[in-house]
Structure 1
Amino acid sequence: MEKLTEANTPISNDGCTKQQQDNIRLKRQLGLPSAVSLIAGTMIGSGIFMSPQGVLYYMGSPGASLLIWASCGLLAMMGALSYAELGTVIKESGGEYIYILRNIGPLPAFLLAYTSVIVVRPASIAGVSLSFAEYVVATFYQDCPSPPVVVKCTAAACILVLALINCLNVKLATSIMNIFTVAKLLVLLLIILGGLVLVIKGNTQGLQNTFENTVSGFGPVGVAFYQGLWSYDGWNNLNYVTEELKNPEVNLPRAVMIAIPLVTCVYLLVNISYFIAMTPRELLSSDAVAISWGVKLLGSWTWIISLGVAMSTFGSANGTFFSGGRVCYVAAREGHLPDALSMAHVKRLTPSPALIFTSVISLIMIIPSSFSTIVNLFSFTAWLFYGITLSGLLYMKITKPDIPRPYKVPIIIPVIVLIASVYLVLAPIIGSPQMEYVYVILFIVSGLIVYIPLIHYKWSPECLRSVTLHLQLLLEVAPTDKNE
């Protein structure tokens, strides 16, 4: 039988007391290689294999598309450097949530957690899992479109496997990230070398008149940025797991400076290879850009590209899952989500309740969604909160200039990223308004209905405490402490 303390904290038969449970914490197990792998491995996922069509469609020419890809890399780099200062001053996991909570206040932090946990992170996981499924299923349906039901069932299986991996062991999850990061870089290197071979053979038609038919306009450029920035999503992932990073003062900015320039260079070279191998018309008509490239250059060996894309998207989904569960975990630890989500497994030291909750929401999002819808939904919401986070950094720089800063970014960099975030939020609404943006705003505002009674007035239904207790017993989890 389990015994309970006055605080309704279970004491197990193996002698785990309340004091011992309070000392449970997530370990610092991420070194510099794993930190670089978490950033690069999450960034390199489905985007580089699916977004080139979207960027080209909205920009109209290969040259303008390459400018968008380079600009996205520069913007991601500046954003990550700004976050590096935040992460070395506020050494807590949780990313935007914890920075907004400490710099601006509990209400906007809650709205972020509410939106991120229910929409943003699950949307990202669902989007990457769907792209993984599309490439895997396409191998078996080469002569006809893949059945949507099969694609969505495969995506669901991907999410369930990732949930199991991340709940079992942190080292297992990071090992998979490291292995799959190397594998996807090798596949992208193959695509780059294929383009180089074509150039050597004199096939440079794709590099002529590169800015012909370029589209300009407030809205199209903003949506093109959405498509490109989807491929760079993950530049801030290390800030979600700061408490699990060894020596964050050094490794956080160092990992950013290694990973993001590497990914940007790879993306530009891969896009150039696409444009050399295919005309803009061929690229726009392709259902899977990398596969079309493989058919033209590799022939019967195209399966290598399919396998590489599947590994890339699976590894990216794993990184997103790893960091996304931590937002839920930290928000619950701060009292903005149910207590059960702030607990960790007493033996495996993984935030399994938060990971399970994230996987359930991700599975639900797969049912009605398409890849392009998820990209727009995710990007609009994410950049809204990135802008709020950077406002907090600027406020901290101006009002608290004497705080010790192991790493300090020039103030002009967060200012530029803040301006870019305002543009990315407003451009699609003004240039190509869609109802999904209205739905997102209404959903964020609906968080007030939850915040006022449960957070502001601290109303806690008795049934919720009972559910928390039973979940503790069922999942073998206990409250945690922060890493110092």
Structure 2
Amino acid sequence: MDNAAILEPNATLLQRRPLAWNGEDYVAAGDPIEVTEIKPRLPEVKSRSIETKEEKRDSDQYLESDDSTVQKDENSDAISSETEQAQVNLKRNVGLFSGISLIVGTMIGSGIFVSPTGLLERTGSVGMSLCVWTACGVVSMLGALSYAELGTMITSSGAEYGYFMQAFGPFSAYMFSWVSTMIIKPSQLAIICMSFAEYAVEAFTSECDPDPFIVQIAGASTVAVVTFINCWSVSLATSVQNVFCSCKLIAVAIIIGGGMWKIAEGSYEHVATGFEGTTTNVGHIATAFYSGLWAYDGWNNLNYVTEEIVNPSVNLPLSIGIAIPLVTICYVFVNISYLTVMSPSEMLASDAVAVTFGNRILGPMAWLMPLSVAISTFGSANGTIFAAGRLCYVASREGHLVDVLSFVHIKKLTPAPALLFHAVVALAMVLSGDIEGLIDFFSFTVWIFYGMAMLALLVLRYKCPKLARPYKVPIIIPVVVLIISVYLVIAPIIDNPQIEYMYSIMFMVLGAVLYLPFVHFGYVFTFMDKLTTFLQLMLQIAPPCGIADEEYSGL
């Protein structure tokens, strides 16, 4: 498949000589190349998009530089190694406080506002539900510490994609990119948008149940809005994220403050029921962990900025050790606060427990709760789709996904094709599923790959013992997380197989079947060049980085 940009300079043609990177552009070794105008045309030779310095700075908000993005011509001495290192290395400016803020900000999202109902239903008792919430925090911290070793050891873009490539080879990396693109990221976006829709609709329906069709339409509209924002402007998307991030903390503070006030008044009879009615079904406990771990998802996000952390061997594990227990305490107190104003049966009957809590305790100011939660979940949806294109870029660069998914808009400098693709898949999930089913679908799938990441760490300990490890986790931790991930995947299938699990397995099998002809043997449909050209012209998109050495060495 030809992933060349449909762009060609018409003033001075490239000479058939090796090219070199001069810090701003690719030029023929020894001679500058003048470019005066850009015209679209059908692909004949491999070319690339051309950026101004200002556009490059803007695009760096989305695309980070790494060793495989800009490759140096080995036969050229036009640029020194010091200059190249300055170009590809990120500045280390993420300290301890910034690392804690990143983890807390990404973990606290829609989960704590939608998961308590499903988790309480599956555990059967207040005491067991609080134990599961705490255990989910412990599992998240152990997983994050294991990821800390992987992230400081393998700093290439793509996180799990890079770990699997290093430990197992291209097939497992391809499978992760396929499943993440088709299942993990779209289902995550669909869950958050449906959570936003439920809270937004619940604000106008008081104590009655909202119409499910209206919730689906509101969820689909949310997918469309956040996709438009992210396609329109990177700066607009980041501004929305920054403004809305604080609202989730306001909502959590209101809930915890109100709960502590009710406890001070003596309203803790529902909490005092303890372990009455606790389930002994191992499958139900596993799916309860699905609900809880969905609320904790995001514990591995610090791995995406390991190259920017000051003293990562110290600050990375310390950030994890502070942030995740802090989130765990917040989640436990939020659930206790819910139970100070609602009985377990009332919680199970509510699709939006935070709204019910606000109606019971805030009086005329009850509107603050659905507003805060809706804004919080909208910000989470915006952040989810904002990050969704990065894996597409890395996987497409390796030939594991169609090239067009890695392209960016030539004027807006946004990953429009990847965003639109994720939005289409998420829309299908919103219109065909419910939140609990999607959470099971997401959690079952993602914990397969979390377990594989733990296995990758163990394999690399044996396979690459001399690889530099700025931080080294005790070996027992990834072993424990691997065992837990196996339990979380197998127990629900044995106890209560659901259609969502079958869908996930079918998508994985389909991806494995497609790997052999289209990735391993590199078969490309004859119409793909024309389709790529059409999409580039229609969407005004182009590859996001310069052509590789092997692409221009024959010019």
Normalised TM-score (structure 2): 0.79
Amino acid paired to 2:459:
Y
Cα displacement (A) at 1:15? 12
Cα displacement (A) at 1:143? 5.6
Structure 2 counterparts to residues 44-63 of structure 1, below 5 A: 44-63=108-127
1:166 aligned to 230, 247, 251, which one? 230
Residue 381 (1) aligns with residue 445 (2): yes
Rounded Cα–Cα distance in structure 2 between residues aligned with 1:143 and 1:62: 23
* Aligned residue in 2 for 1:302: 366
Decide whether aligned partners of structure 1 residues 79 and 405 sit closer, same or farther in structure 2, where only a CA change above 3 A counts.
Answer: same
Rounded Cα–Cα distance in structure 2 between residues aligned with 1:470 and 1:115: 27
Decide whether aligned partners of structure 1 residues 167 and 261 sit closer, same or farther in structure 2, where only a CA change above 3 A counts.
Answer: farther
More off after superposition, 258-267 vs 214-223:
258-267
2:500 aligned to 433, 436, 441, which one? 436
Q: Is the 8 A contact 1:26 1:349 kept in 2?
A: no
2:211 aligned to 136, 139, 147, which one? 147
* Aligned residue in 2 for 1:26: 64
* Aligned residue in 2 for 1:7: 45
Cα displacement (A) at 1:138? 1.6
Cα displacement (A) at 1:374? 0.2
* Aligned residue in 2 for 1:417: 481
Q: Is the 8 A contact 1:342 1:480 kept in 2?
A: no
Q: Is the 8 A contact 1:43 1:316 kept in 2?
A: no
1:343 aligned to 390, 403, 407, which one? 407
* Aligned residue in 1 for 2:384: 320
Give deviations 1:186-222, integer Å, cap 9, x for gaps.
2111111111111211222123231122112211110
Query: Would you tell me which structure has more helix in proportion to its own residues?
Result: 1
Amino acid paired to 2:286:
G
Rounded Cα–Cα distance in structure 2 between residues aligned with 1:299 and 1:205: 22
More off after superposition, 72-81 vs 428-437:
428-437
Q: Is the 8 A contact 1:92 1:242 kept in 2?
A: no
Decide whether aligned partners of structure 1 residues 38 and 152 sit closer, same or farther in structure 2, where only a CA change above 3 A counts.
Answer: farther
Decide whether aligned partners of structure 1 residues 309 and 142 sit closer, same or farther in structure 2, where only a CA change above 3 A counts.
Answer: same
Q: Is the 8 A contact 1:45 1:317 kept in 2?
A: no
Cα displacement (A) at 1:72? 0.4
* Aligned residue in 1 for 2:422: 358
Cα displacement (A) at 1:466? 2.5
Cα displacement (A) at 1:133? 0.6
Amino acid paired to 2:214:
V
Cα displacement (A) at 1:80? 1.3
Cα displacement (A) at 1:300? 2.4
Cα displacement (A) at 1:35? 5.5
Residue 480 (1) aligns with residue 518 (2): no
Structure 2 counterparts to residues 143-222 of structure 1, below 5 A: 144-222=208-286
2:520 aligned to 456, 467, 471, which one? 456
SS of the residue aligned with 2:158?
A: coil
SS of the residue aligned with 1:41?
A: helix
Q: Is the 8 A contact 1:222 1:428 kept in 2?
A: yes
* Aligned residue in 1 for 2:533: 469
Q: Is the 8 A contact 1:44 1:312 kept in 2?
A: no
SS of the residue aligned with 1:205?
A: coil
Q: Is the 8 A contact 1:68 1:225 kept in 2?
A: yes
Decide whether aligned partners of structure 1 residues 268 and 46 sit closer, same or farther in structure 2, where only a CA change above 3 A counts.
Answer: same
Identity within the alignment, %: 46
* Aligned residue in 1 for 2:166: 102
Rounded Cα–Cα distance in structure 2 between residues aligned with 1:248 and 1:117: 32
Residue 279 (1) aligns with residue 343 (2): yes
Structure 2, unmatched stretches of 5+, are: 1-38, 66-89, 548-555
Q: Is the 8 A contact 1:96 1:389 kept in 2?
A: yes
Decide whether aligned partners of structure 1 residues 459 and 185 sit closer, same or farther in structure 2, where only a CA change above 3 A counts.
Answer: same
* Aligned residue in 1 for 2:456: 392
Rounded Cα–Cα distance in structure 1 between residues aligned with 2:236 and 2:119: 35
Q: Is the 8 A contact 1:46 1:131 kept in 2?
A: yes
Rounded Cα–Cα distance in structure 2 between residues aligned with 1:407 and 1:218: 35
Q: Is the 8 A contact 1:34 1:178 kept in 2?
A: no
Residue 74 (1) aligns with residue 138 (2): yes
Decide whether aligned partners of structure 1 residues 143 and 424 sit closer, same or farther in structure 2, where only a CA change above 3 A counts.
Answer: closer
SS of the residue aligned with 1:335?
A: coil
Q: Is the 8 A contact 1:38 1:177 kept in 2?
A: no
Rounded Cα–Cα distance in structure 1 between residues aligned with 2:479 and 2:238: 33
Cα displacement (A) at 1:306? 0.4
Amino acid paired to 1:462:
T
Amino acid paired to 1:26:
E
* Aligned residue in 1 for 2:195: 131
Give deviations 1:369-389, integer Å, cap 9, x for gaps.
111110111110110111112
